[in-house]
Amino acid sequence: MKLLLDTHAVLWWVTDDPQLPAAAATLIADDTNDVLLSAVVVWEIAIKRGLGKLTAPAGLDELLLAGGATALPITIAHARRVERLPDRHRDPFDRMLVAQAFEEDAVIVTRDAALGGYGVATAWA
């Protein structure tokens, strides 16, 4: 199964935060799953870190990639898919994750139940 990690899932996985439920951690750690690290997550962390709204370990993307995650760039197909999404969620980062999940046939690992409202597969929400 392809797992697309939401930003908070990435942060909690890397920092071993107990807010990440055991079931989600088990999915991420399962070597039979393909963990995708979206460029949009790295972008969101960079923006929020720059604004002083987030403290995150430096190099967490490198840590995940070294641990076996697969980098997922933002493609034109992903951007086009955003336009076709209903206007249910205003966060552009989350909308891109939903579009990527559809295009990549991935399950989003998130606590945000609103993302499932798009009809995309989620784990944990």
Sheet holding 107-109, edge to edge: 70-72, 34-38, 2-5, 107-109, 122-123
pLDDT at 56 > cutoff 80: yes
pLDDT at 83 > cutoff 80: yes
CATH architecture of 2-123: 3-Layer(aba) Sandwich (3.40)
Query: Which pair of tokens denotes residue 113?
Result: 């139940």
**Mean pLDDT score of the chain, rounded to an integer?**
95
Confidence at residue 58, expressed as pLDDT on a 0 to 100 scale = 87
Cα separation, 9 vs 14, whole angstroms: 8
Q: Which pLDDT band, with edges at 50, 70 and 90, does 125 fall under?
A: low
Cα separation, 55 vs 94, whole angstroms: 19
Closest CA to 2 of 24, 28, 38, 35: 35
pLDDT at 10 > cutoff 70: yes
Confidence at residue 36, expressed as pLDDT on a 0 to 100 scale = 98
